[in-house]
Amino acid sequence: DVKVTQSSRYLVKRTGEKVFLECVQDMDHENMFWYRQDPGLGLRLIYFSYDVKMKEKGDIPEGYSVSREKKERFSLILESASTNQTSMYLCASSTPSGSTYEQYFGPGTRLTVT
C-alpha cells in the first residue's frame, strides 16, 4: 500500500512566523502535490513537483513556496504566515508510469495562524 505521511496533524503558528509542512511518500512516486482545503471550495492546488528539484505553480501559489530535495519528500513553506492561510493542507503523490492516474493522499495538516 502506498503511504503518504505528513509531519503534523495539527499546527498552531503566529502571524509572521515561517512555517514548514513536510510530506513523505514511500512508493517512489515522481509526482507530488500540495493542496489547501477550505469549506465550500474543495481542494485547490498550491504547487506540484514532477521530479527532484522540479516544481510548478498551481492555482494559488501566492504566499507559499516548496522544496523537493529528495524524491520521497516534498515540503511546503509559508514564508510569513498570515491568518488567511489558516486551512487544511493536504499532500498527495502519484506516478505517471503505467498510470492509473490516481493520487494518494496524506492525512492532512490543520494549520491555524493566530
Q: Given the rule CB under 8 A, which residues bind other proteins?
A: 4, 9, 31, 33, 40-45, 48, 50, 56, 90, 92, 94-96, 99-108
Nearest-approach distance from CB 45 to other proteins, in angstroms: 7
33 vs 75, which CB is nearer to other proteins?
33
For 21, residues 6+ apart whose C-beta sits below 8 A from its C-beta are 6, 7, 8, 11, 34, 75, 76, 77, 78, 89, 91, 109, 111
Cell of 77: 513553506
Q: How far is the CB of 20 from other proteins (least distance, A)?
A: 19
Please say which residue, 86 or 105, places its beta carbon nearer to other proteins: 105
d(CA 9, CA 30): 24
